[in-house]
């Protein structure tokens, strides 16, 4: 079974890293809010409340929008949508990037050259514009479709990074010995390469998740999301219907705070994980 090899020193550093635990707690809180938040309100994202443009109150903690819908209900459902699409995109990008990077770094030769050419082609494409163009002509814009499109075009940097890591690991003596002992390439990859690469792929997944969520909420803000009550979609509607000029500040502020908190926490979380798992940064 594949497992992440973590030294005792790394475990101690992880326990002592305050940035990690603070940002990890924020991310977990937002995730839990998305999962259990709907249980805290009797309203759905499109349930009329009987009032319009009402500021935050005990009954409506995030206020009511111009159409009479509860903003808190929209936000908690929006977290689910934006996070789900981001997770799908991050998983797809990480799987593609890790797979291509591993086979390129381990096999070398024409395989490495082919993956390098493919990577250069995808890196030369402004993927967010391409996704925007494709999804604009799609009749269905579900969570999975949005996540797949973002993930299919955001893997190249990970493939390059993993390829370099695997190429370096493949030069180690124990890898040669494992191959000489008759082990198949697949067994060597899973037994000797992946366990040493797992923490790096985990860190890369968090970084992919951050960039994927940023891409997803950008598309949502442009009106091309999976639903109107996604995080970016709520802000999009608020701006379109003049929430700023009408002084309905709660309509865009609360989803905006959640988006900023989530994205910035994931960025800092990635940095803190790199500080723990990267030996060179420990010495800085």
What per-residue confidence (pLDDT) applies to 1? 47
Query: Taking a C-beta distance cutoff of 8 angstroms, is the pair 66, 249 a contact?
Result: no
Cβ pair 134, 75 in contact under 8 A? no
* 277: nearest Cα among 2, 1, 3, 17: 17
Q: Considering the domain boundaries, does residue 106 fall inside one?
A: yes
Q: Is 248 helix (H, G, I), strand (E, B) or coil?
A: coil
| Angle of helix 71-107 versus helix 194-221 axis, rounded to 10 | 140
Is 2 within a domain? no
Q: What's the rounded Cα separation, in Å, for the pair 72 and 64? A: 8
Give CA–CA dist 103/122, Å, rounded: 18
Query: Is 3 inside a domain boundary?
Result: no
Tell me how many degrees the CA angle 199-202-205 measures, rounded to the nearest 5: 155
When divided into structural domains, the chain yields a total of 1
Which residues form the domain of 146? 8-282
pLDDT value of residue 279: 56
Whether 112 is covered by a domain: the verdict is yes
Contacts of 192 (CB under 8 A, 6+ apart): 169, 174, 175, 178
Is 65 inside any structural domain?
yes
- For the four alpha carbons of 45, 48, 54 and 56, in that order, the dihedral sign comes to negative
How many whole angstroms separate alpha carbon 155 and alpha carbon 94? 6
pTM (predicted TM-score): 0.87
Q: Specify if 162 maps to a domain.
A: yes
Whichever domain contains 23, its CATH number is 1.10.3720.10
- What are the tokens at 179? 């191959």
Q: Is residue 47 part of a domain?
A: yes
**Does the residue 128 lie in any domain?**
yes
Instruction: Give, for all 284 residues of the chain, the pLDDT tens digit.
Output: 445 556 676 778 778 889 999 999 999 999 999 999 999 999 999 999 999 999 999 999 999 999 999 999 999 999 999 999 999 999 999 999 999 999 999 888 899 999 999 999 999 888 888 888 888 888 777 888 889 999 999 999 999 999 998 888 887 777 778 777 777 878 888 888 888 888 888 888 988 999 999 999 988 898 887 777 899 999 999 999 999 999 999 999 999 999 999 999 999 998 888 887 765 555 44
* Cα separation, 105 vs 87, whole angstroms: 26
Bridge partners, 69 (sequence order): 48
């Amino acid at each position: 079974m594949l497992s992440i090899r973590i030294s005792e020193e790394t475990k101690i550093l992880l326990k002592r890293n305050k940035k990690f635990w603070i940002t990890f707690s924020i991310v977990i809180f937002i995730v839990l809010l998305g999962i259990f938040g709907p249980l805290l309100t009797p309203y759905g994202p499109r349930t009329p409340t009987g009032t319009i443009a009402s500021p935050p109150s005990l009954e409506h903690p995030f206020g009511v929008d111009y159409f009479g819908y509860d903003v808190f209900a929209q936000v908690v459902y929006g977290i689910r949508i934006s996070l789900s699409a981001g997770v799908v995109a991050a998983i797809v990008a990480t799987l593609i990037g890790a797979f291509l990077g591993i086979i390129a770094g381990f096999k070398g030769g024409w395989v490495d050259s082919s993956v390098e050419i493919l990577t250069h082609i995808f890196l030369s494409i402004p993927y967010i514009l391409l996704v925007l163009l494709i999804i604009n002509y799609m009749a269905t814009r579900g969570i999975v479709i949005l996540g797949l499109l973002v993930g299919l075009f955001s893997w190249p940097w990970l493939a390059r990074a993993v390829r370099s890591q695997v190429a370096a690991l493949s030069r180690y003596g124990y890898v040669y010995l494992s191959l000489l002992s008759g082990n198949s390439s697949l067994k060597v990859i899973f037994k000797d390469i992946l366990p040493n690469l797992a923490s790096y792929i985990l860190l890369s997944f968090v970084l992919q998740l951050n960039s994927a969520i940023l891409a997803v909420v950008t598309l949502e803000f442009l009106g091309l999301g999976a639903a109107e009550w996604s995080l970016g979609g709520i802000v999009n509607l608020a701006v379109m219907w003049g929430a700023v000029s009408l002084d309905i500040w709660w309509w865009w502020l609360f989803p905006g705070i959640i988006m900023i908190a989530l994205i910035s926490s994931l960025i800092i979380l990635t940095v803190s994980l790199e500080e723990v798992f990267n030996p060179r940064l420990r010495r800085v």
